[in-house]
Amino acid sequence: MQAFTTVTGRAVPLMRTNIDTDVIIRIERLTAGEPSTLGTYAFEAWRYLPDGTENPDFTPNQPKYRGAPILIAGRNFGCGSSREGAVHALQGMGLRCVIAESFGDIFFGNCFQNGMLPIRLPDENIQTLVAETNVSEVPCTIDLKLLTITTPSGRTIPFTTDPQRREALLEGLDDIGLTLKYEADITKWQTQDRLARPWVWLPT
């Protein structure tokens, strides 16, 4: 998993509420190939016109936001069905961070398992951030070590996140990777337990 420390770039606003995972990536696209290929299909219904060309009214298609690594979204982003591919699709667009007032719980957890940082902010901070990104081409900076967002005007907005999830992102570790940090301790316990309770262990 790619570690997350700081990300600097444009923040693209997509201020629609209740954007569900089926909008982010349609279920039939999940069989299209490797997760890394899903970016083409992210927001497909909004991103493309019926003839397959890009929809110029879809904010991330606009030249000033193309390739932006930060998405500012409306509340309850990523609601709906459990779909890890939604995170992969956003990453395929080049996104590393999503900022919203609230998230679907499963999507929120899937972000941390795949190197994406979801940030919850109060609505007043989000509105300020959107206003600044709309009028300035100066990038934002997300600093996970300092837990700050630096806006285009240079203002600093603090945010919070779960300490263990923060550690995992900083080190580029999913749950399995975090567990393997204690591999030596696990192996030591297993060795001791095989001697103390051999009847509970299957023959190797």
Predicted confidence (pLDDT) per residue in 137-153, tens digit: 899 999 999 999 999 99
Phi-psi region at 167: left, alpha or beta (left = phi > 0; alpha = psi -120 to 50): alpha
Query: What one-letter code names the amino acid at 164?
Result: Q
**pLDDT of 203:** 79
C-beta of residue 33 within 8 angstroms of C-beta of residue 89: no
Is the CB of residue 86 less than 8 Å from the CB of residue 35? no
Ranges of beta strands (E only) in the chain are 6-9, 11-14, 70-73, 97-100, 117-120, 140-143, 148-150, 156-158
Q: How far is CA 76 from CA 66, 70, 98, 114, in A?
A: 24, 17, 12, 19
User: pLDDT tens across 50-107, in order?
Assistant: 999 999 999 999 999 999 999 999 999 999 988 899 999 999 999 999 999 999 999 9
* Residue 52, φ and ψ in degrees, nearest 5: 95, -10
Residues contacting 75, CB < 8 A, separation 6+: 17, 18, 100, 101, 102, 123
Write the pLDDT tens digit of every residue in 32-61. 767 778 999 999 999 999 999 999 999 999
Distance, C-alpha 25 to centroid of its chain: 14
Weakest-pLDDT range from 19-28, 55-64, 181-190: 181-190
- pLDDT score for 95: 97
The arithmetic mean of pLDDT across residues 119-139, rounded, is 94
How far apart CA 115 and CA 96 sit, in angstroms, is 7
Which tokens hold the place of 47? Answer: 């991103």
Q: How many CA atoms lie within 13 A of 1 on its CB side?
A: 26
pLDDT, averaged across the chain: 93
| 11-14 and 140-143 beta bridge pairing | unpaired
How many beta carbons lie within 10 A of that of residue 131, not counting itself? 14
> What gap in Å lies between CA 98 and CA 134, rounded to an integer?
17
Q: List, in order of start, the domains of the chain with CATH numbers.
A: 6-198 (3.20.19.10)
The pLDDT of residue 178 is above 90: no
Q: Is the full-model pTM beyond 0.95?
A: no
Calculate helix-pair angle for 105-113, 163-171, nearest 10 degrees. 40
